[in-house]
Structure 1
Amino acid sequence: MPLDYRRTQFLLSAPEPEQLPADLGAEVAFAGRSNAGKSSALNAITDQRSLARVSKTPGRTQAINVFPVGDRHSASVEDRHFPAAEYRLIDLPGYGYAKAPEALRRHWQRALPAYLEGRQSLRGLVVIMDIRHPLGPLDEQMLAWANAAELPVHVLLSKADKLRRGPAGNTLQRVLPAMRAICPASTAQLFSATNRQGVDAARRKLDEWLLG
């Protein structure tokens, strides 16, 4: 039976991967360049307006945000050893924000690969790319990190409503082989939070990973 992503709630914001809930159950992480539409994608998939805070200011997400799918666990958020919810969506810090402090960029350059490789409950990585500017150097780096961690990747080519159907489809066909050259275990789809294009397909991919 598919998960009801409308029952997703915010649990906590972890400045360090070590502060995440217990490494149990199953989770899927969301990553993307600053302003690629990551927060909007999370809100569309969960059918909520403000689960993830959307901002026109890039670089808003600077910690790891945890969203259990289903009822919030009754244990205290302050207890870092509380039993994890069975299924979770993880919002990773946006990358590529030029004004981020150098020390912060270096920190996440170390912490994100460690999270991807060391988190046993992590089932897959969703990478959001603006369809008008896909597969930049930092996107390629994220795919390479996922490949090193032996994680499957699903790319949402966001803001697909900004292009006509033909050019959008051409972009998808061009990006797929380039992605797979870096991370063979990767798939991609068109996505728009504005007109909800691809929301059901994205949910099916999450179900495949979380319930599989």
Structure 2
Amino acid sequence: MTDGAAPPLLGDGKGNYRAMVDRSSATYSPGLKSTLSTALEKELCVSYVPMGRLNWNPGWVETPAEELKTLVQNAMKNIPQGWAIDGNYIQKIGFIVQDNATDIMWPDPPLILYIPRLFVRTMQRWFQWEEPRSPGCGEDTSKGIFFSSKSVLWRCLTNHSVVRRRCGGMMSRIGIGIGSDIAARRMRRIGGWGGELKAWLQSIEMLRRDKAL
């Protein structure tokens, strides 16, 4: 089965969908990670779990690893009908999200497309024209809004190639239609300049209509 012939989501075969949107650099950009996750929430009635809000507390205080792992495990356990989780935090909680996901989404637009959008959104948050990424976690120029190690812009620029290598390796193993581990194929890349994302969203809407029949 080729990627093009595959359904937009695989699910568990019982009408339940558990999707992980991989936390790539691009997913900090508006219109990508949250769009994928909220589309699943809206169209398929699954619960949206924003991992960043579980990890970051007011003042940019991180949730300890074991506590975060418990929060994520409880979230998945309490919504067996399906979920969309927009991150993985593998270094903190291991592979618990990935291992329980029926589908893994990798948003991979060109760097030149999402960096300007991310810059605009960062400034909107700095001026408080938009909600912060997590409650009580506003943009702060005194901590380096652009060039500090905590800057989203800086992380995207420095991690873009790292993320592409990691996710590319995952695709070679579990990518739909191409992965070497045939039984575990469940990862999909959404790249390009927006056309692939639009087509995928349309296919999700069609999937919802088919479920309603």
Please identify which structure carries the higher helix content: 2
TM-score using structure 2 length: 0.41
Larger radius of gyration: 2
- Using CA pairs under 8 Å that are at least 6 residues apart, name the structure with larger relative contact order, 1 or 2: 2
TM-score by length of 1: 0.41
